[in-house]
Chains A and B, each alone.
Chain A
Amino acid sequence: MDIQHTESLDNRLSRRGFLALTAAAGAATALGGLPAFTASAAPLRPTENPMLSAAQAAKNQLWWQAPGSSASMIQQGLPVGNGRLGALTSNDPAGELLMITDDTLWTGGRNDTLQSDGQFPYSQDDFGTFTLLAQLTVDIPGHDLSSANDYRRTLDMAQGLVSASYEISGVTYQRQIFASRPDDVIVLHFSQQGAGSYTGTVSLTGTHGESTTADSAGPCASFGASLANGLKYGAAVTAYSSTGKVGLSGTSLSFNGCKDLTVVVSGGTNYLPDAAANFRDPSVDPEPLARSKALAAARQSVTALLHTHVADFLAAFGEFGLDLGTSSAAQRGLDTWGRVQARWQNNVPDPELEAAYVQFGRYLMVSGSRGSLPLNLQGLWLDGNAPAWMADYHTDINIEMNYWMADRAGLSDCFDAFADYCLAQLPSWTDITQRLFNTPTNRYRNSSGKIAGWTVAISTNPYGGGGWWWHPAGNAWLCLNLFEHYEYTQDRAYLDKVYPLIKGAVEFWEARLITTTVTDASGTSYEVLIADSDWSPEQGPLDAKGITYAQELVWNLFGHYLTATQVLGRDTDYSKTVDGLRERLYLPVVSPTTGWLEEWMTPDNLGDPQHRHLSPLIGLFPGDRIRPDNSTAKDILDGATNLLIARGMNSFGWANAWRSLCWARLKNAEKAYQLVVNNLKPSANGSNGTAVNLFDIYELSPGNGIFQIEANFGTSSAVIEMLVYSRPGHAELLPALPAAWAASGSVSGVGVRGGFVADFSWRNGKVTQATLKSVGGLGTTVYANGTSRQLSIRPGESVTLRNLG
């Protein structure tokens, strides 16, 4: 194995340097707890054309040969988003429809009056729900799809562009839609080549009964209103053309004979991520702010808007590359939906489609997780105001799964929205925990009567509130994500920022753990610490003590806390106390009855063997206490494997993704891959699988499929986990490479725990070359092709390994 140190290669391309600059400028407006929707200085605009060449762009494009249905936007609309402001777009020639969201537009509130059972109310009024901001239609009656030829729409994932083109009577019409973060607007640009023109109307409507008004200045149409919880919101649209006439038609904008047309939409709320301010910014008046933002953007040429957006988006999308092999000419001839269908029907691997699925997950994250709230159950996208489970933040798998992908897929910056959310909620979570958790009717209360720190409910909202039931171990799971981000980035300032969250969770568990006596197989009895009464998500007894889920999470939490105190040099004495508690924590054993790792601290199976949740396997993934190497007792490894086998291969979306991640950890490449393939099954009439727009669909009831974005992210994470397994000090390449991808491939920009980013390629299942760049890590051991090599690197440096094994 050759080892070659190189200098940092950050100055490879002048474009990259420029992009980093614009990205930094864009990001600055969103840091420090500022509301996302606020007046901002004019963005820095690129001085050179940032657009990718057609060939470069084609590497990360999906395309379809039909527009989306206005009646099925969640499965057929193409998403755009600037991190806060998003839309699903239909791309129909005669009627472009945008269902527009702002991730802060939530009903509900703090929700801190418990029900008689000591649990949280969970409805749209008290807990609240994510809701639509507005609906925008651009009607072009002359452009009937029945008379359009060669229709195509494209999602350019690297540049953040939705486009559509079609031909009518010899004229080629094109449109582009993008959600710009620097200009804080959504832009629709309609153009044509030939003697064509656009005539029609632009209408902006609310979805909560708002009244739109129009102003000939601009012209501009807008509305503003307040929800019952006092949250103010508003949206505005304007349009302009270099030819033809743009005016008003009632409360709509009209355009007539325009050779080109640009429509600019803005909108937002007065949400403020600050519990002390009750999550409101009284200085923001959303409707006039939306108008001024839309009109300000409309003073720019569409080229300026486009280039500013693309420069920002390209920088955020980054350099993560994934090549899982070459697909056939026949596969390449199909559009994206055709490939999804062929992949399933023909049962022939389509490595380019499978890689594109990961890039689509990254596109969703870049579009939905920058500078505002984190991705919820539907990310940033809605097609109605009654999303399943309120499109909230579910803390017993879903939000955690959303963010497993960020660091793995080279999107560490996108993780900030999650960390910032937790930090902003912490005061309220702490207050509610300390006031209400030990309510006598709460079956999960601490039997010790003690209370400290914070925890959460199964559902959380953006107002510091919880919904449904208490979820005592939820704090530890959130902290697992938070700490792993530190492991990937080695960012000490970040760790310092989230330290109060981790410490608060530790304090909660210090107060909650109870002592019990267990007898091991040799007949020796000893005292252990176990979690108080809890529910292993979301099955079995409601009042089980010492559930594996909680034991594993707390074991992780305490260990991470110890590392954090060491890194930050804080709370040294307390860390010793916590380490002592960790030593006494009970850890699960294998049931002699079932042969499975126990879920409920009993040999008995008390639930559904094929349950969707893998809660008792949390020590296999996302934790890695249980490893397929000599560090884990064989009976524990076998028990975990047996339990995973019992859980089966035929679940859905996120549950398949979690299974795939576990099989990847167990180095069973084919099972891990099959679960990815299962999630790529085309959804038909709402069945489990992948929709036309690649959103993952869960069949809530026959014919009723809903979007669950964590499956997109979890499946993408699983693909990456099959290529790299890492923990601090350990980086294993191709731990679970399936035959479908073995011939040749490469990945670049993939995150490695311990503070590295890896680029490597393979052929015939063997790593041919690997480069590790330190983003803060000082050393690790690389495992590949059955051999290993210890590396020492300085931050910023790269090491390239060749002639591996």
Chain B
Amino acid sequence: MRSSSSRLLPGATARCARRTIRALLVLAVTAGLATALPTTSPQARAAAAPTTTTTAPATTTTAGSTSDIAATPYMGWSSWSMQSSQYPGLNPNGNYSYLTEANVLKQTDALASKLKNYGYDYVNIDAGWWRDNNWTPEYDQYGRQTPDPARFPNGMKPVADYIHSKGLKAGIYLPVGLEKEAYGDGKVPIWNATGCTTADIVYPDLRTTNGWDSSYKLNFDNPCAQKYIDSQAQMLADWGYDFLKLDGVGPGSFKSGDNYNNVADVAAWHKAIAATGRPIHLELSWSLDINYAADWKQYSNGWRIDTDVECYCNTLVTWDNSVKVRWNDAPAWSDKAGPGGWNDLDSLDVGNGQMDGLTNAERQSYMTLWAINKSPLFTGDDLTKLDSYGLSLLTNQEVIAVDQSNSPVARPVTPMGDQQVWATKNPDGSYTVALFNLAGAPASVTADWASLGFKGNASVHDLWNHQDIGNYKDSITEALPAHGSRLFTIKPGGSKLATTSYEAESPDNTLTGGATVVGCAACSGHEKVGNLYLGGKLQFNDITVKKDGIYTINVAYISGDPRSVTVYSNSSNGSSLNFPSTGDWNTVDTVSIRLPLKAGSNTITFDSGSGYAPDIDKIDVPRSG
């Protein structure tokens, strides 16, 4: 269970604004907040590690493995960012009114002419296609969403046909569950399901579900429920859609608890799509619960890891509102993505600085993070008004190639401060390395080759500027603007870094407070030191080096949520370092830290202080500084 309470409020507020202005939903969202806040002890959280408790069909194939859907992160355009914005002129007929056939076709043309050649091929219609400008929904005689005639006077199929005529793919949107307004007193028949009505597909107590409590929860114990999903899927397939965003899905969408567990819905959609015979990419939204990552991966092709990126303000996004949080939130998911299913960081709104509400540096950092995380690259910008800088970002083929490559998702290789280095190793032995400065002022950022496991010279290629910038020995330091970034390919030309490993569980170490050695299947030596909290301390003794120096030390650790620890050598003051989440309590990841060591014997201490620290597996200390 995630507990990033600091982020929940803006997103919750945004959600209220997003779907409805009714106070009822405000209450619902507030209730969701309350359930998301409490945290338990680390042991409890560790014990709660990922176990899927929902009904799971027998199949274990991943959603993507049955076709080439989402072999790489999808690319395209989505309507929601412009729908959600108060930017002048975008929504003249009320909130979310941007979504019309005319606008979708206009954006289709722009995508085809400007971005299609770079791999952007999805045109995705987001929420509201079945709602009028007062957000009143419309349904067919089978309780299925039906297009609003003002927005889509020709229905949805001609739109998909037009998109296809441009060589592009068409995407559409639905909320999870049976929307309350479609219930029709339980008497609405289900298409192609003799004897089934809406009363059969929900629970007798009409329990609600999804992120806004806007639907009744489907009861899959009754086969009629699957029939309803089948009917929706067949309708979309008949119209020719290639992509479905299923929204409000839980656990996630700021909800938890049985009523909001939509794993069965997602499984039903997976099955229904397969039954149509049409390949349809299934994307889940929003803030999906990472403890259910295996389910999302099994049944879908992508999952939104966070709340909406949009600010619901006078621009599409703002840096502070919801862009910057993704640096903290993405690392937990790094091991969850792969061909067939990807971590979705949400819309990439970098195409027009004025409308986006971002500086050029922020726009570059935004796309850099998305690319190294192998997030889908779909922009929410007005493609008819891309500025030259935005176009240069969106069409940078070297950066797009990072996103679409078969390298693993990048992770931070430094602790999570204002200055960060993220990296991944590419199949050819090179590294993709991103430098970030999240501070509000320029700062230098250094990538040490030692944190990548080698030393000596390496050639550095600058992806954003398409330039080989030379050979750098042992590290590279660059000045970055406020909220700025650099993205490099580093090709080692030196040698592997010789290190000495020190296991946390070694009897040579000193454990203080509650710190204890515990078993750990994924750890080297199958043990780690845990329970580092509220004064618990792990002190490595007799770390021996030959020369005085500042050493780059790799720390292998486990932390199911982001945690901080004060690290120091000998009697230094040290500093409190934020370790990114490893996603669960069974996965070991590594960050590197810089510590001064003196010739001879040293101690290195991990001190939880007054908080909760990660579990430590081992440290690797270079033999020379």
Which residue numbers of A lie inside 8 Å of B, CB to CB? Answer: 64-69, 71-72, 76, 92, 144-151, 166-167, 169, 328-330, 335, 337-338, 342, 344-348
Contact = CB atoms under 8 A, between A and B. Distances in A.
Residue among B481, B549, B572, B573 facing the most chain A CB atoms (10 A cut-off):
B481
B343 interface: no
Contact of A147 (B464, B477, B568, B575): B464
Contacts of B477: 65
Closest 4 CB pairs of A and B: A69-B441, A65-B444, A151-B479, A66-B479
Given A328-B548, A344-B573, A347-B572, A145 B444 contact: no
B549 A328 contact: yes
B444 A335 contact: yes
B440 A69 contact: yes
A65 B574 CA distance: 23
B572 A146 contact: no
Contact of A66 (B364, B442, B464, B569): B442
Given A72-B441, A347-B572, A330 B549 contact: yes
B279 interface: no
B360 interface: yes
Given A330-B549, A348-B596, A146 B481 contact: yes
Contacts of A65: 444, 477-479
Contacts of A338: 444
A330 B550 contact: yes
Contacts of B441: 68-69, 71-72, 76
Residue among B480, B484, B550, B568 facing the most chain A CB atoms (10 A cut-off):
B550
A342 B479 contact: no
B224 to A, nearest CB: 56
A167 B476 CA distance: 14
B6 interface: no
A500 B255 CA distance: 80
B528 to A, nearest CB: 26
Contacts of B462: 149
B572 A345 contact: yes
Nearest to A166: B479
B66 interface: no
Interface in B566-625: 568-569, 571-575, 595-596, 625
Interface residues of B, number: 35
Given A345-B572, A348-B572, A145 B479 contact: yes
A337 B443 CA distance: 10
Contacts of A144: 360, 481
Interface string B424-456: 000000000000000011111000000000000
B536 to A, nearest CB: 21
B214 interface: no
Residue among B574, B575, B596 facing the most chain A CB atoms (10 A cut-off):
B596
Contacts of A148: 478-479
28 contacts: A64-B444, A65-B477, A66-B442, A67-B442, A67-B479, A68-B442, A69-B482, A72-B440, A72-B441, A145-B442, A145-B479, A145-B484, A146-B360, A146-B464, A166-B479, A167-B469, A169-B465, A329-B549, A330-B548, A337-B444, A342-B550, A344-B573, A345-B572, A345-B575, A346-B569, A346-B596, A347-B572, A347-B573
A64 B480 CA distance: 12
A348 B462 CA distance: 36
A146 B484 contact: yes
Contacts of A92: 442, 481
B481 A145 contact: yes
Contacts of B485: 146
Contacts of B479: 65-67, 145, 148, 151, 166
Contact of B442 (A69, A167, A346): A69
Given A66-B480, A92-B442, A147 B465 contact: yes
A65 B479 CA distance: 6
B361 interface: yes
A147 B104 CA distance: 35
Nearest to A337: B444
Given A66-B480, A330-B549, 5 more contacts: A66-B443, A145-B480, A146-B361, A146-B486, A335-B444
A150 B486 CA distance: 12
Nearest to A150: B478
Interface string B532-565: 0000000000000000111000000000000000
Contacts of B165: none
Given A65-B479, A66-B479, A71 B442 contact: no
Contacts of B480: 66, 145-146
A150 B479 CA distance: 7
B467 interface: yes
A150 B549 CA distance: 24
A691 to B, nearest CB: 11
B478 A149 contact: yes
A184 B426 CA distance: 57
A66 B548 contact: no
Contacts of B482: 69, 71
Contacts of A347: 571-573
B605 to A, nearest CB: 13
A147 B568 CA distance: 35
Contacts of A346: 550, 569, 572-573, 595-596
Contacts of A330: 548-550, 596, 625
A69 B625 CA distance: 33
Contacts of B364: 146
A338 B446 CA distance: 11
B469 A149 contact: yes
Contacts of A66: 442-444, 479-480
A91 to B, nearest CB: 9
A348 B573 CA distance: 9
B467 A169 contact: yes
Contacts of A167: 469
Nearest to B441: A69
Contacts of B440: 69, 71-72
A584 to B, nearest CB: 52
A344 B596 CA distance: 12
Contacts of B596: 330, 342, 346, 348
A676 to B, nearest CB: 15
A82 to B, nearest CB: 27
Nearest to B481: A145
Contacts of B573: 344-347
Nearest to B444: A65
A337 B418 CA distance: 15
A66 B361 CA distance: 15
Contacts of B571: 347
Nearest to A347: B572
Contacts of A68: 441-442
B547 to A, nearest CB: 9
B434 to A, nearest CB: 12
A147 B485 CA distance: 10
Interface in B452-510: 462, 464-465, 467, 469, 477-482, 484-486
A68 B625 CA distance: 30
A65 B573 CA distance: 24
A435 B244 CA distance: 86
A175 to B, nearest CB: 14
Contacts of A150: 478
Nearest to B439: A69
A64 B443 CA distance: 9
Contacts of B469: 149, 167
Nearest to A164: B479
Contacts of B548: 328, 330
Contacts of A337: 444
A344 to B, nearest CB: 6
A189 B487 CA distance: 31
A345 B573 CA distance: 5
A649 B361 CA distance: 42
A635 to B, nearest CB: 37
Nearest to A328: B548
A338 B479 CA distance: 13
